[in-house]
Amino acid sequence: MTFESILQRFDKLAGGRQAGIAISDELRSHPKTRRAFTWIMWLLLAELLLGVAAVVIAVAIAAGGEAVPFAVWMRTLVVFGMTVTLFYFAWRASLGWRWAYLRLRLFSQIFPVITLVLAAIPGLYPAWMVTEQIIFSLIMIGIADFLTSDHMRAAFKAPEAPSKLDNSTPTD
């Protein structure tokens, strides 16, 4: 069993019916597609560094004797898990897998909304965490912007459905 076959099993779980659908090599290697995924990977790296910074700040505060709210620890864990998942989706999408592109696009549009709503709840997070969430959201909006560009939507469009056979008899 190869590493790729193991990943394709995971893809089947994450991608469902769309798991086996890939875009053409021509579209995958198009300069606009490659450039978009380069930017997306850099933005995800920024997200990861932002998440690591949040953990470092929380640990420093806790080490200084201040209580760190449970919501902050959960947020740091969730951001790390989300970012790792988004890296996986971005990597698989950059290889041309349509399901991964769709998941990455969906989450990059939903996460900023959720994050900003949570940041708006008074007293849930300290000010530094609210700032982190706003920055996180702005970066995610940037990722969504690349994914929803005309080129990327066209590159990852749904495959043409096979036409149904016409059962009528031809007329002369």
Q: pLDDT tens digit string along 82-128? A: 898 999 999 999 999 999 999 999 999 999 999 999 999 999 999 99
Predicted TM-score (pTM) of this structure:
0.84
Q: Checking phi first, is residue 161 left (phi over 0); if not, alpha (psi -120 to 50) or beta?
A: beta
Q: What average pLDDT score do residues 62-81 get?
A: 91
Out of 10-14, 69-73, 142-146, which region has the weakest mean confidence (pLDDT)? 10-14
- Whether residue 135 is contained in a domain is answered as yes
3-state secondary structure of 169: coil
Which of 128, 137, 134 has its CA nearest to residue 68?
128
Domain assignment present for residue 10? The answer is: no
Considering the domain boundaries, does residue 62 fall inside one?
Answer: yes
C-alpha torsion sign, points 20, 25, 32, 160: negative
Residue 69 lies in a domain: yes
Residue 169 binned pLDDT confidence (cut-offs 50, 70, 90): low
State the Cα–Cα distance between residues 24 and 30, nearest whole angstrom: 10
Domain membership flag for residue 165: no
Instruction: Tell me the residue range of the domain where 40 lies.
Output: 30-155
Q: Is residue 7 domain-resident? A: no
Residue 48 has pLDDT above 80, yes or no: yes
> Is 20 contained in some domain?
no
Number of independent structural domains in the chain: 1
Residue 117 lies in a domain: yes
